[in-house]
């Protein structure tokens, strides 16, 4: 059940806004930005989606090392929904079923599968910032690049030897 009120802001955003409470809150999780381990047992097609999503999400700076299972769930659901949509595109959304009382046109089972799984897929997409409205709510605090870090270390050590 959804919580009332707006969703809480990420800690990085509240720190960036200068809110002291955010800096002092030791209970707020602060996972390391990085690429999570791919869980074992993922399907071959989900593995392809995994590689694509890891590239995209790490490029956005929203992927952390603890996101592996949620991302794997997204990848598996993505494959199931797209396979069902492919079936519907190829075979149609309805089928004729002949029974005791004659022939009746019904939806193919993949229609129910798409209807049932789409909300779950959308929630995961929103969590990872994969929808336009979700991206409007995400704010990334830029981290120093490797080049910037090297420059800072260079000048912290007194610059060029000489």
pLDDT in tens, 67-84: 999 999 999 999 999 999
Spatial distance between the Cα atoms of 54 and 36, rounded to a whole number of angstroms = 9
- DSSP letter (8 states) at residue 22: H
Model pTM above 0.85: no
Distance CA 106, CA 109 (A): 9
Please give the pLDDT value at position 162: 45
Pairwise CA distance, residues 66 & 37, whole Å: 9
Nearest to 73 by CA among 39, 44, 48: 39
CA-wise closest residue to 64 among 34, 89, 99 = 34
How far apart (Å, rounded) are the C-alpha atoms in residues 137 and 62?
12
Looking at residue 75, what is its pLDDT? 97
CA–CA gap between residue 17 and residue 9 (Å, rounded)? 11
Cα gap 46→52, rounded to integer Å: 10
| Average per-residue pLDDT for the chain | 82
In tens, the pLDDT along 1-59 reads 566 777 666 666 566 566 666 555 566 677 888 899 999 999 999 999 999 999 998 88
């Amino acid at each position: 059940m959804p919580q009332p009120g707006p969703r809480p802001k990420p800690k990085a955003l509240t720190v960036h806004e200068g809110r002291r409470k955010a800096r002092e809150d030791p209970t707020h999780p602060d996972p390391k930005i990085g690429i999570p381990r791919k869980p074992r047992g993922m399907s071959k097609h989900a593995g392809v989606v995994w590689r694509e999503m890891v590239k995209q999400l790490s490029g956005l700076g929203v992927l952390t090392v603890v996101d592996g299972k949620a991302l794997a769930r997204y990848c598996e659901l993505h494959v199931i929904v797209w396979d069902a949509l492919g079936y519907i595109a190829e075979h149609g959304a309805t089928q004729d079923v002949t029974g005791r009382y004659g022939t009746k046109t019904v939806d193919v089972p993949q229609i129910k599968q798409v209807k049932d799984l789409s909300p779950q897929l959308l929630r995961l997409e929103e969590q990872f910032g994969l929808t336009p409205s979700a991206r409007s709510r995400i704010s990334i605090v830029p981290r120093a690049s490797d080049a910037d870090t090297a420059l800072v270390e260079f000048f912290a050590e007194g610059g060029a030897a000489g």
